[in-house]
Chains A and B, each alone.
Chain A
């Protein structure tokens, strides 16, 4: 069964600190993996996309990694800001006839002053 598991479920950090969010998936055949940021009351916004051949990709203070062998991805946030408080959702696409997109449950990040 295609699944995307994220950890931790929630996380509280102090402003300025770094953090790493995890995503494990069993989606096959793998097409790509995206990290989305969902602010409260808003729709998700794409942060990064990782394809099979990519190991690391950065977008400002966000760095995503992908290990296609172990089927794991991480999102590292550097020097966190209050505005980073949001849900971070890992979304994996599988190419199965058409395309299937499977969403993780998200990690709820709280950045405190």
Chain B
């Protein structure tokens, strides 16, 4: 597609439940990025992929967070055993040529952990 599509738009989870977020990058874009934005503050980088391979995972919390980009499927970000502090908007972005290029962002998934 011509836009980065993120689903769902909103997700509400009780503390300790699992949350799974999806992202379909723009067709032809090789790179996918996940960012976390807490309370409209700065974007925190989580992880990036080049096609289905992890490109940079230096921002991923070591526990509970995992992500995948499999061929012919939307990319996903999964949070096991959610905590209150996981409440944020999670943005996915894609770019055709790499992290130094213009990022095209989706509209985000608002995760609320209650």
Contacts and interface: CB of A to CB of B under 8 A. Distances in A.
Interface of A: 31-32, 34, 41-46, 49, 87, 89, 93, 95, 98-101, 103-106, 108
Interface stretch (B12-20, B60-68, B72-80, B94-102): B94-102
The 5 closest A-B CB pairs, nearest first, are: A43-B105, A103-B43, A99-B99, A105-B42, A99-B100
A45 B42 CA distance: 15
B108 to A, nearest CB: 6
B102 A98 contact: no
B99 A43 contact: no
Q: Is the interface of A mostly helix, strand, loop or mixed?
A: strand
B102 A49 contact: yes
A1 to B, nearest CB: 14
A40 B4 CA distance: 17
Given A34-B102, A43-B105, A105 B93 contact: no
Contacts of B102: 34, 46, 49
A91 to B, nearest CB: 8
Interface in B85-114: 91, 93, 98-100, 102-108
